[in-house]
């Protein structure tokens, strides 16, 4: 099924994939000469490969020049730090949910208040009446049903959903409580561009069957003293992709699963927004051994 045939079903009144005129635009870097003693060893040695922001064709309304400058406007002196302020294109996001979508709401609210350099263009769900889908419809975000269910006539196949996300020009996919396994077609189409959040410190308490309250009950039953959310890139298996970020919370002696879940969820809402901010600002780099790291905003040679 062609994407052009799919989209009108979700948004019959208007085009949901905004049309942007793409123009040729020069992309210049204006920096005073760096002193010979300046060294960026981790970059020169090839230890990390940063995501490139240089492109021949860019949206003229979304990009501006990259400028390096010292506070005085004069050429930097020996030992003085030179910082580059970079504005990158706003990223287009798709969020996948199966339930209430509280992490989806946190990400969308961060985008609306301007702290997130990206926009949620489409919501994908396997439960058309779930809380996340209702929130999306109330906020003018189109909802797509995936995967196709036996009792639903308008669900999409894996190839259909790939075509539809490409029509929206989606840059990153964010799984936020989506309980279905992501098919290989989607993973190949969005390599290193799909993130998931899991409510335990992976690789512990992950895999098929570990979701929601089941995770917290297992953590408490094990006697673990700490838990917390994990954000990882998605591969073709449950919860086995490369870990990008984690946050630790204590497991208290008399915790119930509900109490631990609330403590972890509070951290989830903060951590996921922070990670998506980094992704949208292109601050994720990959170590030689394939481990992803997040650069700090202040210094690209420091990692959080």
Q: Return the DSSP state at 295.
A: B
**What does the pLDDT average to over 209-213?**
95
Closest-CA residue to 66 (of 25, 114, 118, 37): 25
How far is 121 from 272, CA to CA, in rounded Å?
17
Query: How much of the chain, in percent, has pLDDT values that exceed 70?
Result: 71
How far is 197 from 177, CA to CA, in rounded Å?
7
Indicate which residue of 80, 108, 117, 198 is catalytic: 198
Q: Residue 220 pLDDT more than 80?
A: yes
pTM exceeds 0.75, yes or no: no
267 versus 20: the higher-pLDDT residue is 267
Q: Return the DSSP state at 90.
A: P
Q: Which pLDDT belongs to residue 155? A: 82
Class (C level, CATH) for 91-294: alpha beta
117 is a catalytic site residue: no
Tell me the domain boundaries of the chain: 91-294
Q: Which residues of 8-40 are buried (b: 16+ CB within 10 A; e: fewer)?
A: eebeeeeebbeeeeeeeeeeeeeeeeeeeeeee
pLDDT digits (tens, 9 = 90+) for 10-36: 554 444 444 444 444 443 444 444 444
Judging by beta carbons within 10 Å of its beta carbon (0-12, 13-18, 19+), is residue 275 exposed, middle or buried?
Answer: buried
């Amino acid at each position: 099924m062609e994407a052009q045939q799919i989209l009108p079903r979700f948004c019959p009144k208007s085009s949901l994939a905004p049309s942007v005129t793409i123009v040729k635009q020069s992309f210049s870097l204006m920096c005073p000469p760096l002193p010979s003693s300046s060294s960026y060893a981790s970059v020169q040695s090839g230890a990390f490969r940063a995501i490139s922001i240089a492109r021949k064709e860019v949206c003229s309304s979304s990009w501006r020049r990259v400028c390096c400058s010292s506070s005085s406007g004069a050429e930097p002196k020996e030992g003085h730090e030179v910082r580059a302020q970079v504005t990158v294109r706003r990223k287009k996001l798709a969020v996948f949910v199966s339930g209430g979508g509280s992490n989806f709401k946190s990400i969308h609210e961060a985008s609306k208040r301007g702290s997130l350099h990206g926009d949620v263009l489409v919501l994908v769900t396997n439960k058309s009446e779930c809380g996340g889908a209702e929130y999306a419809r109330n906020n003018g975000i189109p909802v797509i049903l995936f995967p196709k269910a036996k009792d639903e006539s308008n669900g999409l196949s894996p190839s259909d959903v790939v075509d539809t996300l490409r029509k929206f020009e989606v840059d990153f996919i964010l799984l936020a409580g989506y309980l279905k396994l992501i098919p290989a077609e989607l993973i190949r189409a969005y390599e290193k561009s799909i993130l998931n959040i899991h409510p335990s410190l992976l690789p512990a308490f992950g895999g098929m069957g570990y979701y929601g309250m089941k995770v917290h009950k297992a953590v408490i039953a094990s006697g673990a003293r700490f838990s917390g959310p994990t954000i990882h890139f998605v591969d073709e298996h449950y919860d086995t992709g490369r870990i990008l970020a984690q946050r630790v919370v204590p497991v208290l002696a008399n915790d119930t699963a509900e109490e631990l879940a609330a403590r972890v969820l509070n951290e989830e809402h903060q951590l996921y927004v922070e990670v998506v901010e980094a992704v949208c600002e292109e601050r994720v780099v990959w170590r030689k051994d394939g481990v992803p790291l997040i650069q700090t905003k202040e210094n690209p040679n420091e990692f959080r």
